Amino acid sequence: MSERMDVSQTRDQRITETLETNYLPYAMSCIVSRALPEIDGLKPSHRKLLYTMYKMGLLKGNRTKSANVVGQTMRLNPHGDAAIYETMVRLARGNETLLHPLVDSKGNFGKVYSRDMAYAAARYTEVKLEGICEEFFDSIDEDTVDFVDNYDSTMQEPTLLPVSFPNVLVNPNLGIAVAMASNICSFNLREVCETTIEYIKNPDHDIASTLLAPDFSTGAELLYDKKALDEIYRTGRGSVKLRAKWSYSKKDGCIEITEIPYTTTIEQIIDKVVTLVKTGKIREITNIRDESDLSGLKLTIDVKRGTEVDKLMARLNKLTPLTDSYSCNFNILIEGRPYTMGISDILDEWVSWRTECIRRMLYYKVQKMKERLHLLEGLSKILLDIDRAIAIIRNTEEDSEVVPNLMIGFGIDEIQANYIADIKLRNINKEYILKRLDETGKLREEIADMEDAIGSRRRVRAMIIEDLKRVSKKYGKERKTEIVYEDTQEYVEEAEEIPDYPVTYFLTRGGYFKKITPQSLRMSGEHKLKEGDELAVTFEGSNRDELLIFTDKAQVYKTRGSDFEDTKASVLGDYLPTKLGMDEGESVFTMIPAGDYSGFLIFAYENGKVAKIEKKGYDTKTNRKKLINAYCDKSKLVGAFSIAADEEFVLFTDSERAILFSSALITPKAAKNAQGMQVITLKAKHFVRSAARVASSGIIAQSRFRVRKIPAAGALIRPEDMGQVQLTLA
């Protein structure tokens, strides 16, 4: 017999208690130990990888297989080899993610600007540390930062790396934690160092005067917006707009794009351009291809002869990711707590932290010098009477008694006596003695100088400035992202001229669409239709009209007449589910002209309810082409109509009853998916089969079916009540 759970052992637990004991520790782990960078500009995964490579001797040595580094890093990072290698890829020079790469790579590491260019496996690539990493590890063995045990307490790792420049602003960093995220853009190294120097000298320094704008590894153009940059510098939040760099070759008749925004990829741009060409919104492009190679990114667009290239690129910049925004969120961990900070706050924290690093380094060196001085002071006492020291050692019978006898004979401590006892006999000469005595004097001077520096804020900050100048000179580069100021940043784009001429729109029940001009319609014969298909909607309009295509899935697709080619009655037309990219299994229900979005839409449902929805609810400020919840999906839709003023409609049931009512009886609703009001009462298992305007309903004896109040039962349809029935959906 199977065991059953003892219900008495379970207990109720408040949801707040569950979150506090189970979820909050996980959330804090993500925030503190994974996703957010610290003041050295590194996340824990970055720091563990770089420190492992440093301990492997890859700062000065030759490259080694990436798989070797990944395996060694797992001693510090238990999250798996795939995660470690992905971290390495992002730091590598070959991937071009960082403005100043930290890993010198050999092999295929993919590209940050390509979605489909995959990096090679770790066994095929080789890595070592870049030269700039010297600034990360220069004084790490001099107690500049704290060390902690790794996850299994078998070795120690640094909590931070003593970076000698504000790496947190030099290389980009993206992290998504629980309930918070960080997205730090990169700045030019020279500008960052200069700004930091000026900020140290004057805390009221105008940061924007030296830190001009973000700088990205993929180059492109930054459209300068002083207000937006000031907001980012002040609060740490905001966005900057980036635009691709391009040139036009008249000889080849093509546009060459060589730099794109950091936030997009070649494939995204190509996909969007292809979509625009297929939908007819861009007609000047004949081909687009990716010609990127070892020399760098290159995207080529072939255009038709006579194309105004500036206007075309202005439209592409507006409609594709060739112009994109980088959202900034300077969320950084300071002593284990996340803070969103502006540039001055970040520099203030970095300078304070770097000051502490240098003081710890100086204190470490002072302690080492004092230890050396202590040994030399003991030696100086011995050197005053070497013969006596030799006699003590020679007359001591046991080796273990040498040190105690020296301590007693000269009044020195055990450390000094051990040092003296280990001196080689050959070093007991006049030259050696004089050098040691001279070294003692110099050590005292250096110790005094360093102790003065430790207590001097001015001297420590002078050391920071000296390091910043050295780093700027040694590793500084010219800007990659060009700043485009307001007077030249945008082309003047003229509105696309859409021809305006009268057309007649046709929609069949099978979802085929036709747009026919009056001239073509006069010369046409019968419509070509698929077997079993028939015309459902017909109305006259303009080529510029916006159309609302309602489907059986309670969705509406917005399109324009100009998006379709003029056609003839003798062709089937465009199949809308394919043309508009509808969902699988989705079918067209009806088509309604949008007009100026005034008036109402009337929706009649199988359950006898009718909804009156404000048409302006379908007008969107953005260029959305698909709206969900376009009408209520609680019951099957049997009719949809557009009205400018109240009209009369007829509902027909499966039990051969009908009701004629005015839309004035229906209370208007703003919500598109409102259920509406019950118009006709239905018996069990009966339903409304169709709806129509009175004029097209075929009803002759209208007074028999007209009601003044709703809901009502309607009246039975007699043969003499109906004329020629002609139902339409709109």
Catalytic residue numbers, as ranges:
124
**What is residue 215's three-state secondary structure?**
coil
Checking phi first, is residue 144 left (phi over 0); if not, alpha (psi -120 to 50) or beta? alpha
Closest CA to 519 of 502, 533, 534, 536: 502
Q: How far apart are CA 65 and CA 122, in angstroms?
A: 7
Cα separation of the two ends of the chain: 67
Distant-in-sequence, close-in-space partners of 376: CB < 8 Å, separation ≥ 6: 436, 439, 440, 443
Q: What is the DSSP string of 24-58?
A: HHHHHHHIIIIIS-BTTS--HHHHHHHHHHHHTTT
Q: How far apart are CA 278 and CA 589, in angstroms?
A: 24
Q: How far is CA 363 from CA 142, 144, 156, 468, in A?
A: 9, 9, 22, 21
Give me 345's structure tokens: 């706050």
Q: Which residue has the tokens 């003590």?
A: 392
Which DSSP state fits 63?
Answer: -
Q: Are 393 and 407 in contact (CB under 8 A)?
A: no
32 burial (CB, 10 Å; 0-12 / 13-18 / 19+) is middle
Closest CA to 440 of 400, 393, 381: 381
Partners of residue 238 on adjacent β-strands: 328
**What is residue 691's three-state secondary structure?**
strand
Amino acid identity of 54?
Y
Q: How far apart are CA 309 and CA 252, in angstroms?
A: 13
Q: At what angle do helices 189-201 and 457-475 cross, to 10 degrees?
A: 160
Q: Which residue has the tokens 């957010």?
A: 36
Q: Are 242 and 263 in contact (CB under 8 A)?
A: yes
Q: Are 209 and 219 in contact (CB under 8 A)?
A: no
Q: Which residue has the tokens 């790490």?
A: 140
Closest CA to 322 of 450, 221, 184: 221
CB atoms under 10 Å from CB of 181, counted, come to 14
208 burial (CB, 10 Å; 0-12 / 13-18 / 19+) is middle
The DSSP H or E segment spanning 173 is strand 173-176
Alpha-helix residue ranges (DSSP H) falling in 493-543: 518-523
Q: How far apart are CA 351 and CA 357, in angstroms?
A: 10
Q: Are 379 and 419 in contact (CB under 8 A)?
A: yes
Closest CA to 269 of 313, 239, 225: 313
**What is residue 709's three-state secondary structure?**
coil
Cα-only R_g, the chain = 40
What would the 3-class secondary structure string for 108-173 be? CCCCCCCCCCCCCCCCCCEEEECHHHHHHHCCCCCCCCCEEECCCCCCEEECCCCCCCCHHHHCCE
Which DSSP state fits 73?
Answer: H
